[in-house]
Amino acid sequence: MSSVKIELRKDQTDKIHTICDSFGNQEGELINVLHKSQETFGYLPAEVQELIAEKLEISAAKVYGVVTFYSFFSMTPKGEFPISICTGTACYVRGAETVLNEFKKQLEMEVGETRTDGKFSLSCLRCVGACGLAPVVQVGDKTYGRVAPDDVKGIIEEYLPAGL
Amino acid sequence: MSRIESFDALKKYREELNRIGDSIEEVQKEGGLVRIKIATATCSNAAGAGEIMKFMSDALDKRGVDALVTKTGCMGYCYAEPTIEVKLPNREPVVFGNVDLQKADLIIESYIKKGEMVDGVIPVNYKTIEEPYN
Amino acid sequence: MNLVKLTIDGKKVEVPAGTTIYKAAKELGIDIPILCYMDLKDLNIENKPGGCRICSVEVEGRKNLAPSCSTDVAEGMEVRTNTMRVINARRTVMELIISDHPKDCLSCAKSGSCDLQDMAIRLGIREIPGQEYAEMSTYRLDTSPSIIRDLDKCIMCRRCETMCNDFQTVGALHAVNRGFQAVVAPAFEMNLEHSPCTYCGQCVAVCPTGALTEVDHTGKVIAALNDPSKTVVVQTAPAVRAALGEEFGMKAGTLVTGKMVTALRQLGFDYVFDTDFAADLTIMEEGAELLGRLTRFLEGDKDVKLPILTSCCPGWVNFFEYNFPEMKEIPSTARSPQQMFGSIAKSYFAEKIEIDRKDMVVVSIMPCLAKKYECQREEFMVDGNPDVDISISTRELAHLIKQANLDLVRMDEEDFDKPMGESSGAGVIFGVTGGVIEAATRTAYEIYTGKSLEKVDFEQLRGVDGIRSASVDFDGQEINIGIAHGLRNARKLLEEIKEGKSHYHAIEIMACPGGCIGGGGQPLHHGDASILKARTKAIYEEDRNKPIRKSHENPYIKKLYEEFLGEPLSEKAHELLHTHYFDKRKKIFQV
Amino acid sequence: MPEATLLANPVKKQIRIALRNCGVINPETIDEYIGKDGYFALGKVLTGLTPAEAIKVIKDSGIRGRGGAGFPTGLKWEFASKNNSDQKYVVCNADEGDPGAFMDRSILEGDPHSVLEAMALCGYCIGANTGYIYIRAEYPLAIERLKIAISQAREYGFLGNSVFGTGFDFDIHLKYGAGAFVCGEETSLIHSMEGLRGEPTLKPPFPAESGYLGKPTNVNNVETYANIPVIFLKGAAWFSGIGTEKSKGTKVFALAGKVNNVGLIEVPMGVTLREVIYEIGGGIRDGKAFKAVQTGGPSGGCLTEKDLDIPIDYENLIACGSMMGSGGMIVMDEDDCMVSIAKFFLDFSVEESCGKCSPCRIGNKRLYELLERICTGKGEMKDIDRLRNLSEVIKDTSLCGLGQSSPNPVLSTLDNFYHEYISHVEDKKCTAGVCRDLMEYFIVEDNCVGCTACARACPVGAITGERKEIHLINLEICIKCGACMEKCKFDAVILK
């Protein structure tokens, strides 16, 4: 359940309507609509899902059922700098878990959380396909390869020069 | 480009492309045109292929080397990304691995300009569909 | 028909192509255990997600086990339902399911009628290996006016989802989350109150475990009966008498009207009345409304709203208030029989016995869970005092009777009290699909034509099809009648009206399969559709046995109008017996 | 020319068919694809072969699905072609979800047109005129290049109405996955395309009868399609001349883990794992000892030294307790704990189970819990029996391929590395030194200078020793927090 309650502005509801219209308000395009909406809002708050349900004439429960099925969709806003640790097999055997633990320790947060200051969010992803560079960490669009636990502090500091 | 309306038209178009290709090779032979392909798949990009691509284009331009730099897909050598293929006139293409900015500079100065081999070459270790099997 | 020969446990059987292994085995008397599978044949409701895997069997030549509920037979197939491989797999899967299920059977609402419990007994489950360190999936408890969702007990059979979406098109419930946390829930895992739920209770009616149960109000009933300052009046809905016996081991379709009355009296209710009385009253009001609209329409009034829709079913009322609020002027304004009863009991009858309405407790016994919500609606209260105080289901009544050491089977048969216990056969058939409109037709015909009906039974209005239509000749005037049960079917008729394509003058809608006899508060049918059929038969039997078959001939109804209400649709009748509807299409999340 | 140092073995063990244009052409320029005989197969088939003849070519080539199960592609096409319908669909499964496999992404990024051409060919064969590529949303570059390729192909008329003037219409659209491994399963994928939860349904009906929107649908994965144009150009005989008796052609593997030359390779069916790991992969990193190679991703198993000389094909891998899968190949060395590896894969399966059927939803969770117990020293011998029974029942009763194969990593490690399980359970030791709970902190006498830093850091006073003398950790008191190891500047504290 979303803990964040938001009120959509007129331009935001319009935007969702436009997205739904662009897919012909087709029920079968739900996943594409959700992708586009998440691209626009950064996440999929309940209010957005309700609007989509209304436009596509399906139940909000169904939309929520789909959103919670796919790991790509999120109901909480991501941090300004989303940190993703690849936990694919290649990264795992090359020590992704220790890197992940180091991030958790340094940031004092768990996977799936967004820090209260909104700076960082931490997530795991399954194979970015850069197995040659394992273990791999992504911060926003930037990819770090062959990351060792010792590198973690430095990576975080790149985004927080003033320290934690 | 207009639609290719028939299979014959495709064959003709292909011949035309071949002629252009041949003429590029001619130009290469005569004018010393260097052809460089840079692997730009997700893993290459993660390893910094974008940076290398930009550096190569700018540097070759600045240093007056006539070169054609294009993107290509994954060459398969993840362990040695970024990888680039350099084809000098009248030479077989050579693939260099682990190309950082320093290495890229070295490739330009030594291999491209002087034809001197640089370390870190990835040999061709596969057959193509043109080669006979067995 | 294409027949297929196969062998099951060494026995040969021949069945039509397209039959499942499960059904073919049944032909041979082999009862393969099932858990998630549910087939309500005549109602076209089939739930076969192939999810629980309890019904797995071995099929020669296949590398893994096959779910017999959803695997079709094939020519020459060799099936084994009882090899050690199958038995081990079935037990292990059952242990897995129970390992993620609470073990509070002693205080679980479903205890004793729980499919999962039965299966555990059948498979001889004694211990769950590794239970001490097995994580359980847990969820927030949700209590609504009618239904409790305790999803820790959900086994993902998806039956409720099928009922809520496919049969009812309500869309309150859907599978959410993934993997170990997957469960069936409303949008955003909010409470049912904040969903389009109509409280029809069909999810409860099919839930194999204690994940979905009714809110239990028997405690309140006991408290009321225990309070000497209260006069406790009880009303029983028509469908209850046709099903209550099942809870006491009686055959489905056994009528227990008289025994039920005795039991209620022995429980200590001061007055044992019949909701059927209020059903007759409903016919008087709704019939008058229908005739009024019809007459105006035939006289050329273009603004008149037709077809008129029945409004007895609270699940249906909730449905249109949420889904078709723009059409909220179309249904009859007549309150449901439960509410008419409460309103008359606490006015007319309270006056008669000279007590204040605040000292009267009206309890209703209903086949329905939406009735629990309905009686809590604000418009059915006077200064905060509800017309109906407590609504309990057939199942809850059975619990009460059992608690009081009463054996329904051996109980004497007694009659309802007067005046509100007298009813016509028309009031009885309110319990089945088509019954309300048949009752209305009996009365409307005679009032409209001024003639007496030769044949009271309108066979053309009966049946089990989801949508039925019939015309009744009102002395030269054709009256087109539509009937729907199940809200998916109701939706279709509503869409027709919306598009201006409806040719009906009157439509009857009931939310539950088969009408109230298949209500969410009835004894569980455990997927056996023949039970619903038997109950229907019983209702029509009760109608046939009644000396009075038409509502307007009920002498106590006549007396009620003479002494108190005046005439149908009078000002007083409006105040006490009619209502209005609300637009509930508000944002779920913003509630 | 002086000899340069080479980064790999120049032996040509590979043959590139599916990857033929990857790293060769510019994927954003259709002319380069045409320059490599691109769209010639489509032209040849549309103008010269009937659909039935074309399907026969694919059948004769012997190609089998490269997505995992290895179903004969020609047969699949034939089924779809024989189901009459007003509308049929061609679907490309590009929802590559195997952690550690990225060949499909590389093909789409390096040679998108080959897939488009193959889908059009398939459309012609089965009688479909609409195609969908279901691609992971996590592949932005591949999506970008596909979009470019589709628009170029439309511009040239290779997609659209009356391709090559033959009256054959075909177009391709994209649908996006959203992060659900189970969507690699055909029926789940189709539900996801329809905007639903990606839950599988029982087969039959197969997609060839009732697929997308209830219409006959052919689903193949990217690598399968990438082979198709070559088969038409070079002939079924050429293709079936490569590989083994039952597995024809090549297979692309994403070789990763503890080998020197991690990368994407394409080898003919029938090469051995030893050739792949040592000759192509350049052997194990840092001179460590080989322990196992995992193929088939979360559905596969771990193979050992004894399996290294078996020719790789569909049947042989299954016989060894693993599977081809989509082509992930992860090499492990002596430092990898096989119980932890099994746990890693189970963690994945728990996370990716859709939750529809109980054995997969609950069973995988229970398997994970058992492995967790074993890895943390709480395991008992009966847990190992339970692991095996549970694994077999989950395989036997699960609804779809995910659950039917998710216990494979457990079963194959139980078969091949039983001793590691035993040492975790009986001796409470993790010989690879991975399971922290089974390890203890020690002070290496040779390195300890007696600086007292460790003793001061220890929160429970488990370390004793005078200044400038060798310190000692009392294992009875130690809570394994690791503070001593962190503080020691002389590498004197070790975990073993």
Distance CA D363, CA C95 (A): 10
- Structure confidence at residue D480 as a pLDDT band (50, 70, 90): confident
Report the SS3 class of residue A23: coil
Tokens 């009618």 belong to C146
Subunit contact A90:D139, Cβ cutoff 8 A: no
CATH number at B38 reads 3.40.30.10
Residue C88 lies in a domain: no
C509 forms beta bridges with: C484
Provide the residue range defining the domain that includes C13.
3-82
Quick one: which of C245, C238, C221, C234 has its CA closest to C408? C245
Report the SS3 class of residue D189: helix
Indicate the residue type of B99: V
- Active site positions of C, annotated: 286, 289, 312, 332, 371, 374, 379, 516
C136 reaches D (C-beta below 8 A): no
Same domain, B64 and B20: no
Subunit contact A126:D328, Cβ cutoff 8 A: no
A143 reaches B (C-beta below 8 A): yes
Number of independent structural domains in chain D: 4
Each residue's pLDDT expressed in tens, for chain C with a length of 591 residues: 799 999 999 999 999 999 999 999 999 999 999 999 999 887 788 999 999 999 999 999 999 999 999 999 999 999 999 999 999 999 999 999 999 999 999 999 999 999 999 999 999 999 999 999 999 999 999 999 999 999 999 999 999 999 999 999 999 999 999 999 999 999 999 999 999 999 999 999 999 999 999 999 999 999 999 999 999 999 999 999 999 999 999 999 999 999 999 999 999 999 999 999 999 999 999 999 999 999 998 898 888 888 999 999 999 999 999 999 999 999 999 999 999 999 999 999 999 999 999 999 999 999 999 999 999 999 999 999 999 999 999 999 999 999 999 999 999 999 999 999 999 999 999 999 999 999 999 999 999 999 999 899 999 999 989 999 999 999 889 999 999 999 999 999 999 999 999 999 999 999 999 999 999 999 998 888 899 999 999 999 999 999 999 999 999 999 999 999 999 999 999 999 999 999 988 655 543
Residue C123 lies in a domain: yes
Tokens 């964040």 belong to A4
Count of Cβ atoms closer than 10 Å to residue D287 Cβ? 7
Provide the residue range defining the domain that includes D259.
250-333
Residue D7 lies in a domain: no
Quick one: which of D180, D91, D182, D99 has its CA closest to D401? D182
Residue B73 lies in a domain: yes
- CATH code that applies to domain A81-159: 3.40.30.10
**Which burial class, exposed, middle or buried, applies to A13 when counting CB atoms under 10 A from its CB (0-12, 13-18, 19+)?**
middle
C443 and C550 Cβ atoms separated by less than 8 Å = yes
Same domain, C236 and C282: yes
Minimum distance, in Å, between the CA of residue D466 and any CA atom of chain A? 31
D64 reaches C (C-beta below 8 A): no
Positive or negative: CA dihedral D343, D347, D352, D355: positive
Residue B129 lies in a domain: no
Minimum distance, in Å, between the CA of residue D323 and any CA atom of chain C? 16
What residue of A is the nearest CA neighbor of C169? A59
Report the SS3 class of residue D168: strand
Give exposure, B114-133, as e/b (b: 16+ Cβ within 10 Å): eeeebbbbbeebbbebeeee
Across B79-93, C73-87, C542-556, D182-196, least confident range: B79-93
Subunit contact A133:B81, Cβ cutoff 8 A: yes
Same domain, B16 and B39: no
pLDDT over 60 (residue A164) = no
> Hey, where are the domains in chain A?
10-67, 81-159
Contacts of B78 in chain A (CB under 8 A): 130-133
Pick A131's closest partner by Cβ from D97, D100, D294. Answer: D100
In percent, how much of chain C has pLDDT > 90? Answer: 93
Contacts of A128 in chain B (CB under 8 A): 42, 46
Contacts of A47 in chain C (CB under 8 A): 587, 589
Contacts of B42 in chain A (CB under 8 A): 128-130
Distance CA C363, CA C232 (A): 7
Beta-carbon contacts of A139 under 8 Å, excluding residues fewer than 6 positions away, are A81, A82, A83, A84, A155, A158, A159
What is the DSSP code (8-state) at residue D183? Answer: G
The pLDDT assigned to C44 comes to 81
The interface residues of chain B toward chain D in range 46-65, judged by CB-CB distance below 8 A, are none
CATH number at D187 reads 3.40.50.11540
Q: Mutate one of B37, B74, B103, B128 to test the D interface: name it (highest D CB count within 10 A).
A: B74
Q: Mutate one of C70, C178, C183, C209 to test the D interface: name it (highest D CB count within 10 A).
A: C178
Same domain, D227 and D376: no
Same domain, C368 and C486: yes
Pick A128's closest partner by Cβ from B42, B78, B81. Answer: B42
Pick B78's closest partner by Cβ from A128, A132, A143. Answer: A132
pLDDT over 70 (residue A163) = no
Pick A50's closest partner by Cβ from C178, C189, C589. Answer: C589
Subunit contact A130:B47, Cβ cutoff 8 A: yes
Same domain, D359 and D317: no
H-helix or E-strand spanning residue B106: helix B101-106
The pLDDT assigned to C55 comes to 97
Same domain, B43 and B90: yes
Report the SS3 class of residue C537: helix
A52-66, B24-38, D436-450: range with highest mean pLDDT: A52-66
Report the SS3 class of residue D93: strand
Phi/psi of residue A19, each to 5°?
-60, -50
Report the SS3 class of residue B40: coil
Same domain, B106 and B66: yes
A28 reaches B (C-beta below 8 A): no
Distance CA D364, CA D375 (A): 16
What residue of A is the nearest CA neighbor of C170? A59
Residue D362 lies in a domain: yes
The pLDDT assigned to A3 comes to 45
Positive or negative: CA dihedral C431, C435, C439, C444: positive
What residue of C is the nearest CA neighbor of D383? C130
Contacts of C588 in chain A (CB under 8 A): 50, 60
pLDDT digits 0-9 by tens, D401-452: 999 999 999 999 999 999 999 999 999 999 998 898 898 888 998 999 999 9
The pLDDT assigned to C590 comes to 46
Of C215, C240, C275, which residue constitutes the final position of a domain?
Answer: C215
The pLDDT assigned to A4 comes to 52
The pLDDT assigned to B24 comes to 78
- Structure confidence at residue A162 as a pLDDT band (50, 70, 90): low
Contacts of C589 in chain A (CB under 8 A): 5, 46-47, 50
CATH number at C367 reads 3.40.50.1780
Provide the residue range defining the domain that includes B16.
1-31
**Which burial class, exposed, middle or buried, applies to C228 when counting CB atoms under 10 A from its CB (0-12, 13-18, 19+)?**
exposed
A163 reaches B (C-beta below 8 A): no
- Structure confidence at residue D68 as a pLDDT band (50, 70, 90): confident
Tokens 């291999």 belong to B111
Residue B130 lies in a domain: no
In percent, how much of chain D has pLDDT > 90? Answer: 79
Residue C131 lies in a domain: yes
Minimum distance, in Å, between the CA of residue C57 and any CA atom of chain A? 30
The whole-number average pLDDT for the span D240-244 is 95
Positive or negative: CA dihedral D466, D468, D472, D473: positive
Pick D355's closest partner by Cβ from C70, C129, C182. Answer: C182
Contacts of D46 in chain B (CB under 8 A): 7
Same domain, B75 and B104: yes
CA torsion, ordered A103, A106, A110, A115, to nearest 10 deg: -110
Number of independent structural domains in chain B: 2
Report the SS3 class of residue D329: strand
- Structure confidence at residue D349 as a pLDDT band (50, 70, 90): very high
Indicate the residue type of D343: K
SS (H, E, C) C171-207: CCCEEECCHHHCEEECHHHCCHHHCCCCCCCHHHHHC
The pLDDT assigned to A2 comes to 42
Same domain, C456 and C556: yes
Residue C553 lies in a domain: yes
Same domain, B65 and B10: no
The whole-number average pLDDT for the span A86-96 is 85
Same domain, D160 and D74: yes
The pLDDT assigned to D5 comes to 78
Same domain, D223 and D143: yes
Beta-carbon contacts of C490 under 8 Å, excluding residues fewer than 6 positions away, are C316, C319, C320, C484, C509, C511
Residue C87 lies in a domain: no
The pLDDT assigned to D1 comes to 46
Contacts of B134 in chain D (CB under 8 A): 241
CATH number at C41 reads 3.10.20.740
What is the DSSP code (8-state) at residue D453? Answer: H
Cα separation values, D95 from A137, C236, D300, Å: 21, 58, 18
The pLDDT assigned to B10 comes to 95
Cβ-based contacts under 8 A for chains B and D: 177
Same domain, B50 and B4: no
Instruction: Please name the chains neighbouring A, where neighbouring means 3+ C-beta pairs under 8 angstroms.
Output: B, C, D
CATH number at C129 reads 3.30.70.20
pLDDT digits 0-9 by tens, C51-77: 999 999 999 999 999 999 999 999 999
Same domain, B39 and B97: yes
Same domain, D273 and D211: no
Distance CA C513, CA A68 (A): 31
Same domain, C272 and C143: no
Number of independent structural domains in chain C: 3
Instruction: Please name the chains neighbouring C, where neighbouring means 3+ C-beta pairs under 8 angstroms.
Output: A, D
C471 forms beta bridges with: C480
Residue D434 lies in a domain: no
